[in-house]
Amino acid sequence: MAFALALLATDLVATGVQRAVYLHPLDRTKLIKVLRPASLSPKRNNFNGIMDRLLPSTRLRQIQKEYAEYLRIMLRNPGPDFHTPIAHMFGFTPTTEGLGCVTERVMQPGGQIGETLGAKVRANSLTQAHIDLLNDTISRIYAYDIRASDMNPNNFVFGQRDNGTGPGDEECVLVDGFGDIHAIPVRSMARWSNRLGLNDSCKRLARNTGLNWHPKSQEFSLPA
C-alpha cells in the first residue's frame, strides 16, 4: 500500500494485550496505536480472552468504546477552555502494520515519551508533585463523568502536551483505558453507576501502586 504510513520496529514504544503503540513517523507530537494480529496476542483464560477467541470481532470493541467515549466527552464540552484529562484522538490512518489510531503523544521536556505512573512507582521516583498532578486528573475524570474502565498504572502518563518542548506545564494524562468496555455496560447507565465504577477503579489503582486512596476526598496520597 503506497499510501500507508511506514511503521518501523525501532519506532515501537509499547505493546499491550491487544495493541502496539508506535511513534508517528511524520509528526513527533503523535503516536499510532495498531491492533495486533490475533496470533500474536497472549492467550488469556479470563472472560475477555475467551470472548476474543469465540467472537474475534470483540477485539474491536475496546477501540470502538474508547473512541465513542472520547467523542462523548469532547462534544459535551465544546468550549475552547475545556481541558480534558484523557489523551486526544485524531482519527485513523492506514499503516504498514494495519489500520492505526492516531493519538496524542505526552512528552518530557526533552522530547522523550512521558513516563508512566507504573514506571515511577517501580523506580521509586514518585513525588508529592506527581501525586498532586494525579489527583488533578482524577478530579477531572470524576467532574466530567468520564467512563474510565481500565485505570491501571501504565495508562497514566506524566509529561507535557505541547510537543514536549515548549513552556507547557507538566500534567498527568490518562492515555488509554477509557470507555465502558465491560460486557454489561453498567457505567453507561447513569452518572451514579459510573461513579461507583470509578471508586472501584481508584481502589484497584491504589492496590497496584501502593498509594493510599481516600474515598471521601477522592484523592491519593503517598504511603506514610
C-alpha cell at 21: 503503540
Distances (CA, A) of 163 to 107, 114, 117, 147, 167: 7, 11, 20, 27, 10
Arithmetic mean of pLDDT, 212-216: 97
Arithmetic mean of pLDDT, 13-21: 87
pLDDT at 47: 47
**Residue 20: CB atoms within 10 Å:** 20
- Give the global pTM: 0.87
Domain locations along the chain: 9-221
- How would CATH label the architecture of 9-221? Orthogonal Bundle (1.10)
% pLDDT > 70, the chain: 85
Which pLDDT tens digit goes with each residue over 113-154? 999 999 999 999 999 999 999 999 999 999 999 999 889 999
The yes-or-no verdict on residue 97 having pLDDT over 50 is: yes
Residues 30 and 104 sit within 8 Å (Cβ to Cβ)? yes
Phi, then psi, of 50 in degrees rounded to 5 = -65, -40
